[in-house]
Amino acid sequence: MTLPQVTYPILVNGIVAFGGIFAGINPAYTQYEIAHAIKAAKIKCFITEPNLVKNVLPAARDAGIPESRIFIFDKPSQTVPAGMQSWTTLLSHGEQDWVRFDDLETVKTTEAARLFSSGTTGLPKAARLSHHNFIAQHHVTEPQTSLPFKPSILVAIPLFHAGAAPRTHFSPLRSDTQTYIMRRFDAAAFLANVERHRITVLVGVPAMMRALLDQHPSPHALRSVRAASSGAAPLHRDVRVRVKALLGPAVPYTQAWGMTETTCRATGFAWPDEDADDADDAACSVGYAVPGLDLKLTDKAGREVTACDDDDARGELWVRGPIVFMGYVDSPAANAAWDADGFFPTGDVAYCSGRNGQWYIVDRKKELIKVRGFQVAPPELEGVLLTHPLVADVAVVGVKATPDGSELPRAYVVRRPGAEGDALTVQDVKKYVAERLSSYKRL
């Protein structure tokens, strides 16, 4: 549980190397959210920063995790709290080679990470990702042929996020991609770093791209970029057009689609392909399925309606393949979602265009709110609000916050009968949520 830094991937690989399981937690989490994460992922040990201990420690104590198992990601100038150890003490136990797997079954059944997802319904759950999932993700998303430029990426998204974990922690060890890490996203600093390090692959969620556009950058600032892509939230055509205007005429700007349950990317484009721009939908195409991944669509009755024809039949998207995760920790109901043919339901509504064979995500079946690329589960906010003594009932929905479709959560609250309930104000409700949940979950 720490902000991005260059030693973060080293630590992740060290955890996986000795047979541990990496469970990334949002450093913005409150004590309430950390307590849920500990339970959901069965966390036994923490590595965090000095300024985050205030939220970690009480949640860890309540879960029976001793202070001796809380390691501090400290700098030489920082003090390690009493009873805890610096993360550097982990380097003082000698060296040992990786445990080598020599059979496919072991690779498929050995966990490497537990990353948080709301799935298609309910509270955030810990998705179990295997060594095989990460290996497959690397091979199906890395360029299959040599690129005419050296790939370099500036990572400015949280490293606990499924959108960053494979590409930042593991793939750089197997590819020749230079990877630079920013501690926090700042649009002006991001543009300066792109120019300073001559970044060739521009990657960011649509909200980041909008922030870059707000800086009114000159094409000179992005002259090194040879490819650009977005994911984690819908990319709308107006944003794509504005970004492409800043890039070179032959530089593709595409959208990929994926989820924690597919170890990140499940569809996309191979350079230099890009969106055919011939669909009626405001959202851009998400490209083609990655190699080895099977996709199908089902209607509301559960009947398969998969077809790439002029009818553009729409339905819930299901996935099957080596990048699809192992299941959730202690969630038997959610783990029963796979069908008899081994397909997993994504909760997204899609179609395959008969004009170009590309896939489009057009709606969501799952009860999920997307805020700047982060998942917000309505039941989590509802559960918090129902603990308020003056709230009788509540329903949380996502509302459109920007013209391009970004959302924010809105709560519809029923006050408890009586004078005390009548005194409950909108500000009381907002404050109650803000004190218990991360900023992106606020009403």
Tokens of 222: 């992005």
Torsion of CA 71, 76, 82, 84, to 10 degrees: 10
Q: Which residues contact 302 (CB under 8 A, 6 or more apart)?
A: none
Question: CATH 3.40.50.12780 occupies which residues in the chain?
Answer: 107-364
The model's pLDDT over 347-403, given as tens digits with 9 standing for 90+, comes to 999 989 888 889 998 888 777 788 877 878 888 888 889 889 899 889 998 888 776
Q: Domain 107-364: what homologous superfamily?
A: ANL, N-terminal domain (3.40.50.12780)
Output the CA angle 215-216-222, nearest 5 degrees: 95
Please tell me the distance from the alpha carbon of residue 361 to that of residue 314, in angstroms, as a whole number.
9
The b-or-e profile of 394-432 (16+ CB within 10 A means b, else e) is bebebeeeeebbbbbbebebebeeeeeeeebeeeebeeb
Question: CATH 3.40.50.980 occupies which residues in the chain?
Answer: 8-100
pLDDT tens for the chain, 443 residues: list them: 899 989 999 999 999 998 999 999 999 999 999 999 999 999 999 999 998 999 999 999 999 999 999 999 888 778 888 888 998 898 888 888 877 888 899 999 999 999 998 766 667 899 999 999 999 999 998 876 788 999 999 999 999 999 899 999 999 988 888 999 999 999 999 999 999 999 999 999 988 999 999 998 887 889 999 999 998 888 888 888 889 999 988 899 999 999 999 999 999 999 999 887 755 566 789 999 999 999 999 988 888 888 755 567 889 999 999 999 999 999 998 899 999 999 999 999 998 988 888 999 888 877 778 887 787 888 888 888 988 989 988 999 888 877 666 789 999 999 988 877 788 999 999 999 999 898 889 89
Handedness of CA 218, 224, 228, 232 (dihedral sign): negative
Burial of 75 (0-12, 13-18, 19+ CB in 10 A): exposed
The model's pLDDT over 396-427, given as tens digits with 9 standing for 90+, comes to 988 887 766 678 999 999 998 887 778 899 99
Tokens of 115: 């990353």
Peptide bond into 219 cis (omega under 30): no
If one looks up domain 369-441 in CATH, what number appears? 3.30.300.30
Closest CA to 411 of 421, 422, 399, 419: 399
The model's pLDDT over 197-209, given as tens digits with 9 standing for 90+, comes to 999 999 999 889 9
First to last CA, the chain: 24
The 3-state DSSP class for residue 180 equals strand
Please tell me the distance from the alpha carbon of residue 168 to that of residue 310, in angstroms, as a whole number.
39
Question: CATH 3.30.300.30 occupies which residues in the chain?
Answer: 369-441
Entry pTM = 0.86
Q: Which residues contact 332 (CB under 8 A, 6 or more apart)?
A: none
CATH fold for domain 8-100: Rossmann fold (3.40.50)
Tokens of 395: 């329903």
Torsion of CA 120, 122, 124, 127, to 10 degrees: -50
- The single-letter DSSP state of residue 46 is E
Closest CA to 141 of 10, 240, 254, 225: 254
Instruction: Answer whether 278's CB lies under 8 Å from 356's CB.
Output: yes
Instruction: Answer whether 113's CB lies under 8 Å from 338's CB.
Output: no
Tokens of 220: 């000179």
